[in-house]
Structure 1
Amino acid sequence: MSEKTALLNAIAGTNRGLLASEQQKQSISEAIAALEDLNPTARPVEAADLLEGNWRLLYTTSKALLNLDRVPVYKLGQIYQCIRVETTSVYNIAEIYGLPYLEGLVSVAAKFVPVSERRVQVTFKRSIVGVQRLIGYSSPEDFIQQIEAGKKFTALDVPIKGDTQQGWLDITYLDQDLRIGRGNEGSVFVLSKT
């Protein structure tokens, strides 16, 4: 069995890490490290054709993301990270489900600057939190087009002071359909291209 298949099998059934036991987290961590050792893209930050696109989160250790599932009555839906290389933009979008007609959305728009062959510095620019219906949310692609067109949403739509909200991300594995990243807060992210 390939290392990639082993990782995908290890994270299956963990609901992006929400349901992972300590033993599963350890196995997943080992599977991630084994796959990172085989990274086929030596300079991932420069591989624009591979980086570009919409990525769906398969697994994370990020408490900030996983805690979105802790809100009473609501459950965490899909989480996307959408990268637009040409504009050096990244959009994090979390779909939240619960009460009918009150499905939510938590999104952060950011800019990134390459600082090495595998690291990007990320500066958060805008946060949008609201009800999907009021925002007019139908898909990550459509939502991003509205953001890029400058639309102000019927939601908690606020600018973020970039000097206080920054971070970095190392891209430690990148191929045609799988990406692994490690963030400045010690979190790991495994994503598949949609």
Structure 2
Amino acid sequence: MASLLESALPLSHSVSSSLTSSSSISALTCLFPTNVRTHNQLLHPRSISYPKKPLVCQLALDEASFFEPPKAEIIGSLKIKLLSAVSGLNKGLAASEDDLRKADEAAKEIEAVGGPVDLSVDLDKLQGRWKLIYSSAFSSRTLGGSRPGPPTGRLLPITLGQVFQRIDVLSKDFDNIVELELGAPWPLPPVEVTATLAHKFEVTGSSGVKIVFQKTTVKTTGNLSQIPPLEVPQLPEALRPPTNRGSGEFEVTFLDSDTRITRGDRGELRVFVIS
């Protein structure tokens, strides 16, 4: 009888014996034809009509291997997404409410994947000259961002050029460098100047940075580059505002070798790339 059963069901036996021997298979379900063989058919194998289609077997594997892209590759694609979101916004001066939302969402994606920043370990990554490519504060249409500052546009003939941050982790120097073009009465050409706002910085907590204003230096460029730098005098102590408007705090929310994202004490989102 055993040999008869083996000859009657050769396919199911061979499939099950070969598959169950594999350690990667946890379950095997075979869908047999609906016409069940009777005892008489088993005794007379020639009367058995085998199905024209092969048996359908459904396998359940113990485990499936899913290959997740490396973290650096994910961050690289998210950087491209962020750069696409802020491109064409003139550092944020031309940003609409929808642009602000898209940039903020793209930055949050990078921050989530990158994880918390620890400047006690990665302080050296701050070193260098960083170019500002986006600031949500510039959407207020003033050079001071969310703080008081000269307006851009028609009220004053001031055109904002490139903005940089120069950071020296050894001397704790933190300079904001702003290129400006000042309009002049016709037929005089516009005056190009570079203003350097010098600060000292210190790290607060794991990812916070506090900057303290030192001085402002203005240097003409272009046709007037031969003029020596001019240090802008500060107001007398008695006339200074109670809070130093040149100082501030921000948190570094993402930092690697070529990209830095910060969020200011007034909610400003800023994106820098190494230059």
Shared fold (TM-score, shorter chain, > 0.5): yes
Q: CA RMSD in A?
A: 2.9
* Off by >6 Å, runs of 4+ in structure 1: 159-163
Q: Secondary structure at the match of 1:54?
A: strand
> Could you tell me which of 91, 97, 119 is aligned with 1:22?
97
- The residue that corresponds to 1:5 in the other structure is 80
Looking at structure 1, the residues matched to 192 and 107 of structure 2 have their Cα atoms a distance apart, in angstroms, of: 32
Match of 1:154 in 2: 230
| 1:40-189 equivalence runs, <5 A | 42-44=117-119, 46-63=121-138, 64-65=143-144, 70=152, 72-99=156-183, 100=189, 102-129=191-218, 131-132=220-221, 153-158=229-234, 164-165=243-244, 166-189=247-270
Consecutive unaligned residues of structure 2, counting only runs of 5 or more, are 1-73, 184-188
Instruction: Spell out, residue by residue over 1:64-114, the C-alpha distance to the aligned partner (whole angstroms, 9 max, x if none).
Output: 445656163331100001100001110001101254361122321111111
1:42 aligned counterpart, secondary structure: coil
Q: Distance in 2 between matches of 1:84 and 1:193?
A: 14
Per mean C-alpha deviation after superposition, the further-off stretch among 91-100 and 18-27 is: 91-100
Cα deviation code 1:6-61 (max 9, x no counterpart): 10100011111011111111111111111111226731354233110000000002
Structure with higher RCO (Cα < 8 A, 6+ apart): 1
How far is the alpha carbon of 1:136 from its aligned partner?
5.5
Answer yes or no: is the 8 Å Cα contact 1:68–1:76 preserved in 2.
no
User: What is the alpha-carbon distance in structure 2 between the residues aligned to residue 159 and residue 46 of structure 1?
Assistant: 39
- d(CA) in 1 for partners of 2:199 and 2:235? 10
Deviation at 1:167, TM superposition (A): 1.6
Q: Which has the larger radius of gyration?
A: 2
Question: How far 1:175 moved relative to its partner?
Answer: 0.8
What secondary structure sits across from 1:62 in the alignment?
A: helix
Sequence identity (%): 28
Indicate if the aligned counterparts of 1:79 and 1:92 stay in contact, CA closer than 8 A: yes
Map of 1:140 onto structure 2: none
Conservation of the 8 A alpha-carbon contact between 1:45 and 1:51: no
**1: CA distance between counterparts of 2:236 and 2:212?**
9
Alpha-carbon contact 2:119-2:203 (below 8 Å) kept: no
**SS state of the match for residue 70, structure 1?**
coil
The aligned amino acid for 1:22 is E
Quick one: structure 1 residues 41 and 178, their matched pair in 2 at CA, closer, same or farther if it must change by over 3 Å? farther
SS at match of 2:160: strand
Deviation digits for residues 158-191 of structure 1 (CA, Å, limit 9, x no counterpart)? 4897983232110000011000011112211100
Partner of 2:33: none
